[in-house]
Amino acid sequence: MTSTDGIEVRRPLEGAAGEVLTPDALAFVARLQRAFGARRLELLDRRVQRQRDLDAGHLPDFLPETAHVRAGDWHVAPITGDLENRRVEITGPIERKMVINALNSGASCFMADIEDALTPTWDNLMEGQVNLSEAIDRVISFTGPDGRVYRLNDQVATILVRPRGWHLHEKHVLVDGAPVSASLFDFGLHFFRNARRLLARGSGPYFYLPKLEGHLEARLWNDVFVAAQDALEIPRGTIKATVLIETILGAFEMDEILYELRDHSAGLNAGRWDYIFSAIKKLRSRPEMVLPDRAAVAMTVPFMRAYTELLVQTCHKRGAFAMGGMAAFIPNRRDPEVTNAALARVRDDKERESRDGFDGTWVAHPDLIPTAMAAFDAVLGDRPNQLDRQRPDVHVTAAELLALGKTPGQVTEAGVRLNVSVGLQYVAAWLGGSGAVAINNLMEDAATAEISRAQVWQWIHNGVTTAEGTPVTAAWVDGLVGEELSKIATAMGAAYGRFRWDDAARIFRDVALGETFQDFLTIPAYDLLD
């Protein structure tokens, strides 16, 4: 443990941590925490109050107090350079091999994830910061168990970094006796270490901002950006940030979020999986908004269609990029039938997004890049984006954004079992240090696991009965946990013993079967990490 000037680091400053957490870097993070930590906590309290209002029957709506922003004639600052063409972005954690493969993948951009795809172990965080710096310097390499050496190509993707959300803290670093905001920790270290490195290479410090629930949270980020740039004497507006619209409350404030970040905005992204989770979480007490099996909640169902169309229209009206959502399908190189089915679904998804006016999209696997790229190339041609698609035909109402009850489909026993199985497998992998996991030919991260457990909670607490006639009760699902664990053990064989299944089952039961809905499963899971 190291403590100086009110900053306490509760892990040894050795290895990667010793390289990353220099006195100046720690002082920079502490400066941000002291300036903005209290406002962050106030905004988290505001989230709690808004949830009480929702539980009391007050549905979300467009804010009357910001009507002038929605009606105003304004645009975000121009976006040029290596962020102008973002037609396909690949995402993944900041692990060394992943960073190299993603940058070499042929994607336009790489969203380097410190959030939902990364388990925030101390080693993952510290080594990840080193990986980012070495990647920017073009010196990163990795030697696999088979002796194969991985290095960067001459042409690589543009890096954007996603720090952890406002709701999380970094327990290993305290400032004035309190844990530092994980958002400020991740952002601050990357910006302090790499902003000038990036600018020297003709790029810049680019970010993705997760889990925002409204424009006041965007305002806080904008103030952080201004302070960080001023502290390092970097011109204001150098930072560019894309906000993930992955909460249903954020969908009602897209104009306002862009406005708050207008000098630093690089657009909005349709963070589909977290958005579904947020819709369930925020509207969990309304039986008329219960969703069917997760597999039935496609991008074409009414409430998801309304959200994505409004996002494109809002972004292009303001001169901001509209980025499409994650294709989570994973090709199976040993099973051509699975691969062909996955590619067909990705093709349909990306062709719809490109026709709707999106400027680019996300994939989770390099093998999906050619399919996604072809869909956007067909629409964009030689243009870097389609900001000229203004979509005046779109007129989305609050009722359409809230039309969860119009989602076709049923709750089935297979759907409940799948949610239980995925939830258990993901939490076990997360506790083992892996935040992005291939399960059933899909890339699961914290967002998709959140859907699985949130649906179970929603079905139990709204008295849902499966299509087969079985009431979804906590006792019944508790039994399924044991049954699904037995199936997983049989399928995994000896490998089963390498994971913390008892801890995973306890966490899943707490967040899926508990009387009180817990906001994020990663919060209790984080307590179990060293």
Q: Give the model confidence (pLDDT) of 49-102 as tens digits.
A: 999 999 999 999 999 999 999 999 999 999 989 999 999 999 999 999 999 999
Q: Kindly report the backbone phi and psi dihedral angles of residue 169, in degrees, each rounded to the nearest multiple of 5, phi listed first.
A: -125, 165
Q: Which residues pair with 142 in a beta bridge?
A: 150
Residue 237 pLDDT: 98
Q: At what angle do helices 474-492 and 413-431 cross, to 10 degrees?
A: 60
Task: Report the catalytic residues.
Answer: 162, 445
- Region class of 72: left (phi > 0), else alpha (psi between -120 and 50), else beta: beta
Residues of the chain where predicted confidence (pLDDT) is lower than 70 = 1-3
User: pTM surpassing 0.85?
Assistant: yes
Given this model, what pLDDT does residue 328 score? 78
**What is the predicted pLDDT for the residue at 3?**
62
Cβ partners under 8 Å of residue 30, min gap 6? 5, 6, 7, 175, 180
Bridge pairing between strands 7-9 and 2-4: antiparallel
The pLDDT of residue 2 is: 61
Per-residue confidence (pLDDT) for residue 291, from 0 to 100: 98
Say what percent of the chain tops pLDDT 90.
94
